[in-house]
């Protein structure tokens, strides 16, 4: 695992956007795994800026999002479909036919999960998977105790996750109780994983995820097993790491 600590959240987001831009420049048909959430918004803002100012071209890439709530339609402002269009897809020249999110309204949810896995495989697998981390250590919506070989499936959301996401809903009771998520096994098959965490409230879980024992109790620890994973943090999210000084000596990835 490579750990990059940036002085602030803006520079951390920029580092992630730069890695995505480099991947696109190296391979315009790159398959990106994408995440939603507050942490990701500045990353998408940076990518939109690169599109407008530097002509960064998204027209040939494909994307697969990690997750979607069950029971929210694509045009529901709280759905992850809506989030992606609002924050990213509608602001760049991506071909919407190449963008994918699980369908939380599917009548047969199990079939939808299997279909999502098939689609990822048919596209040659994910080259670069972007991840955030939940306060309980989840990646995607892989809540504590998710098996490391789990695949795309329906996942009941924990109380902690529903509380974390409640501010986006009119009332906490309206946060969906279930979601479709890529599994840990699905995520670990990506050729590269890139996790971004910012802010003091993530510091404790980041230290468990990066320096704690590998355990299904903190599913982000699975990234310790991945041969090509990079973690980008701001100073606040890194503040509980015991070996922060050592990680700071790691050189930043060089643009091609
Ligand atoms: C979202 C996702 C989640 C979030 C995580 C952090 O697609 O997969 O794992 O990345 O819950 O969310 P924020 O960034 O809102 O703290």
Helix, strand, coil percentages for the chain (3-state, nearest 5):
40, 20, 40
Which residues contact ligand 1 via a Cβ below 6 A?
Answer: 35-40, 66-67, 132-134, 138-141
* pLDDT grade for 249, boundaries at 50, 70 and 90: confident
For 5-30, write each residue's pLDDT tens digit. Answer: 999 999 999 999 999 999 999 999 99
pTM score > 0.85 for this model?
A: yes
CA of 97 to the centre of ligand 1 (A): 24
Share of the chain above pLDDT 90, in %: 95
| DSSP H stretches of helix in 27-130 | 41-54, 80-87, 109-122
Q: How many CA atoms lie within 13 A of 92 on its CB side?
A: 27
For 205-240, write each residue's pLDDT tens digit. Answer: 999 999 999 999 999 999 999 999 999 999 999 999
For 95-154, write each residue's pLDDT tens digit. Answer: 999 999 999 999 999 999 999 999 999 999 999 999 999 999 999 999 999 999 999 999
**Best substitution site from 32, 34, 36 to test ligand 1's pocket, by max atoms within 8 Å of Cβ?**
36
Active site residue 67: yes
Q: Is the pLDDT of residue 253 over 80?
A: no
- Quick one: pLDDT at residue 248? 82
Backbone angles phi, psi at 197, to 5 degrees: -135, 135
Reduced to 3 states (helix: H, G, I; strand: E, B; else coil), residue 137 is coil
State the Cα–Cα distance between residues 50 and 97, nearest whole angstrom: 22
User: Cβ atoms within 10 A of the Cβ of 185, count?
Assistant: 17
For 40-65, write each residue's pLDDT tens digit. Answer: 999 999 999 999 999 999 999 999 99
């Amino acid at each position: 695992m490579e750990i990059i600590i940036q002085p602030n959240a803006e520079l951390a987001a920029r580092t992630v956007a730069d890695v995505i831009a480099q991947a696109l420049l190296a391979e315009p048909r790159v398959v990106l795994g994408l995440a939603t959430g507050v942490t990701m918004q500045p990353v998408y803002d940076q990518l939109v800026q690169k599109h407008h100012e530097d002509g960064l071209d998204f027209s040939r890439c494909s994307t697969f999002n990690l997750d979607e709530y069950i029971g929210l339609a694509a045009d529901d402002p709280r759905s992850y479909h809506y989030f992606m269009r609002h924050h990213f897809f509608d602001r760049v020249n991506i071909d919407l036919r190449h963008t994918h999110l699980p369908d939380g309204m599917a009548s047969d949810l199990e079939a939808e999960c299997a279909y999502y896995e098939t689609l990822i495989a048919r596209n040659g697998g994910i080259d670069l998977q972007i991840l955030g981390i939940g306060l309980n250590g989840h990646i995607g919506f892989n809540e504590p105790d998710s098996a490391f070989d789990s695949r795309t499936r329906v996942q009941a959301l924990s109380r902690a996750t529903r509380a974390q996401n409640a501010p986006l809903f009119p009332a906490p009771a309206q946060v969906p109780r279930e979601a479709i998520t890529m599994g840990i096994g699905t995520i670990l098959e990506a050729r590269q994983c890139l996790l971004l965490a910012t802010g003091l409230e993530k510091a404790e879980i980041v230290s468990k995820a990066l320096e704690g024992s590998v355990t299904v109790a903190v599913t982000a620890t699975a990234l310790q097993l991945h041969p090509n994973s990079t973690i980008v943090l701001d100073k606040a999210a890194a503040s509980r790491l015991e070996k922060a000084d050592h990680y700071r000596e790691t050189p930043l990835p060089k643009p091609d």
